[in-house]
Amino acid sequence: AGTGGTATRGGPPARSPLRGQRLRGGRRHDRRFGGLHPGKAMTAPDWHDAAISGAIDRVRAIARTVTDFPHITEARQWQLTADGVWTGGFWAGLLWLTHERERDPASRERALYFTDRLLPRSADTSNHDLGFMFVPSAVKAWQLTGDMRYHRAALAAARSLAAQHNRVAGYIPGWGFFGKEDWSGNVLIDTLMNMPLLVWAAQQSGEAALLDVVLSHTATTLAHHFRADGSVYHVYKFDPATGAPIGGDTYQGYAADSAWARGQAWAITGLAILGAMLGDKSYVAASERAAAYFLAQLPADGVPPWDFLAPGADQPKDASAGAIASYGLQRLFDVTGHEPYLEAATRLLQSLAESCANAGDEGGLLLHATADLPHGRGIDESTMYGDYYYLKSLLRLARRRHGA
């Protein structure tokens, strides 16, 4: 997905301490399933209820202080964007999740306000993250309010996303709007997470061409992004004129052949969701391969480093990767019924709640996320996408606990 976008920033990236200590990742891995000690309680409600309460409190606190879209933090201060860059949907989504849980008018009012501000972005012609922007915001707004304005906006966003499909090469390029470089030959693993918008739109509209784009793009990704061990490239490059593959690369990972943790989490989650929506067992199998790699690489504390293959024992963590993966593992459990996926998702969430949840007055729901280390952005900070998937995963687990 995108990087810093147009967010305002002040000063160099700062380190956000937790109880005065920066959380760092070692290279010691516990290779039991889930990468975590099995002695941890998985179903005790105490940590879970406290985590949900703390997360919702932070959403409300942020909502009282921001007038634009929070993107990432620097020195625990939210960097705001007027148009939402690629993360605005997650902020609107957090507000909708809060309203759906608490039924409070204030969260609903703010959710509507920020969702409405995103609607003009449905016409973006060069933005591979329209799913990120419109599923948590406009689709959810339509589901909760019945207002067809949001339905129409989400359908328009899906058509704009599909229009970016390179039919010859078989993919949607990444970062068409990013910087001054030509990204037309770059395909990101993140884009899988935007395909569910197209599936939803095809189901709502009956437009088979939207589903054709999903099948084309996903086939290209499965053919080229995955390595034999289940790790994935962040970026794969092609000749946009012919579709000829050039090779794997990265933008936010340590190296082209390393394993950027958030990219691994995007692969788990995007393919699990698509597998469930389309009933495609090959997508589920690919999600399981990505999950097996992610879980085998987790350190004993259960919080992933920003890149699993970055050398040295003092690498920054990426709590956002853990949050995204916990949600993806729950989706994988739903489609496979394989209990260890639910166990691993629960342990990931508990680890995040115990070591990364923010009990302070500044920053996001989660501390110790890393947005873009190679470019010095949001290192050991909060990210809007990490916060969104943290609360989303917590609430999904709560519904499971309570049989809803």
Catalytic residue among 190, 372, 380, 387: 190
d(CA 66, CA 238) in angstroms, rounded, equals: 40
pLDDT of 151 over the 50 cut: yes
d(CA 336, CA 351) in angstroms, rounded, equals: 24
Catalytic residue among 68, 116, 124, 129: 129
Residue 78's DSSP bridge partners are 73
Q: What 3-state DSSP class applies to 77?
A: strand
List, as one string, the DSSP characters of 243-292: --EEEEE-SSSSSTTS-BHHHHHHHHHHHHHHHHHHT-HHHHHHHHHHHH
- pLDDT for the residue numbered 182: 85
- pLDDT for the residue numbered 14: 29
Residue 71 host element (H or E): strand 69-74
Residue 62 CB neighbours (<10 A): 22
Is the overall model pTM greater than 0.85, yes or no?
yes
Q: Give tens-digit pLDDT for 51-80.
A: 999 999 999 999 999 999 999 999 999 999
Is 190 catalytic? The answer is yes
Is 30 catalytic? The answer is no
pLDDT tier for residue 175 given thresholds of 50, 70 and 90: confident
- Do 399 and 34 form a contact (C-beta atoms < 8 A)? no
Residues 187, 192, 197, 200, CA torsion sign = positive
Question: How buried is residue 215: exposed, middle or buried, by Cβ count under 10 Å (0-12/13-18/19+)?
Answer: middle
Residue 152 CB neighbours (<10 A): 14
Q: What 3-state DSSP class applies to 44?
A: coil
What is the rounded average pLDDT of the residues 23-37?
40
Q: Which residue has the higher pLDDT, 18 or 227?
A: 227
- pLDDT for the residue numbered 254: 98
